[in-house]
Amino acid sequence: MANSRIGVENLVLFKVLTDPAGGTTTYDTPVAISKKLIKIGVKNKSSAEPQYADDMAVDVYVEDGDITLDIDASDLTEDERALIMGQTMVAGVRTPNPATDVRPYFCVSWKSKKRNLTYKYYKILRVIFSEADEEFETKKEKSTPQTDKISGLGIQRLSDGLRKRIADADSTTWLTATGTNWFTTADVVVDAVAPTLTIAPTNAETGVATSAVVVWTFDKAILVSTMTSGNFILAKAGVNIAGTLTINVANTIVTFTPTSAISTGVHTAIATVGVRSASNIPLATASITTFTV
């Protein structure tokens, strides 16, 4: 069933504090433009240039460019406008001054509800805004509410060349923390490092009890969906031993409990590369441990 987007909400701005080339972009605390968001339009500028050889197109060079952001909002206060434009308020008065105003960059965040009531989340990481357009109309027999329209241009960050991030609560790699932190942290940290683990019983351990369980402890949370009998194995002489897998609340410790007491002899415990971190990064190599009961 299709899950079309049916809403837009939670406009939150994070002022860019620093954005050094090759360094780390830092942001100020979030500012919520609460209960005012009506519509957001995002236009991605990109070019596609075909390469020709032997009288035919043999390749296409595609380059993504800057992002135009158009926001319709209701009842922006002059304090909010001053924030967006890098201006000051004096006695409730905002006076734009091109000679002194230093217009800041922002990370712009929002979310969009889908038909199944989950959300997609959006961030444009470095946006500068132009002065808002306004319309004024005389009051008629039937009043027409007026809206504010602000436009911004999203360009790549100097620190890493990135322009935007999009998250989807229906993704198989989705973490609740992603949605929780989307509007409290300007950027999300993508963990691309493979998980590591320790195991008990340890490799080459002897004198292990027949009542032993096997415990894999990871340095970071793993995807619960990868905790399967095909990825976590206890075997003897090439024959898998029946048992039950469980995981702790933090999703960092997997325990295999044999259905019955294991027999004496050499056993092998395996965690395959099918095991993935919560960021969907697999083990670098399979973990294979032998111990003697």
Q: Which domains are delineated in the chain?
A: 9-181 (2.30.110), 197-292 (2.60.40.1220)
What is the predicted pLDDT for the residue at 193? 86
Alpha helices in 156-202 (DSSP H): 176-181
Answer whether 265's CB lies under 8 Å from 175's CB: no
Cα 84 to Cα 233: distance, rounded to the nearest angstrom? 56
Which segments of the chain have a pLDDT < 70? 1-2, 190
Q: Strand 105-113 and strand 253-258: pairing?
A: unpaired
What is the predicted pLDDT for the residue at 226? 95
Answer whether 34's CB lies under 8 Å from 75's CB: no
Cα 163 to Cα 161: distance, rounded to the nearest angstrom? 7
What is the predicted pLDDT for the residue at 262? 96
What is the predicted pLDDT for the residue at 65? 87
What is the predicted pLDDT for the residue at 2? 62
Q: Strand 148-154 and strand 56-73: pairing?
A: antiparallel
3-state helix, strand, coil split of the chain in percent (to 5) is 5, 45, 50
pLDDT tens-digit series, residues 190-222: 677 899 999 999 999 999 999 999 999 999 999
Q: Tokens representing 63? A: 């380059």
Cα 72 to Cα 83: distance, rounded to the nearest angstrom? 17
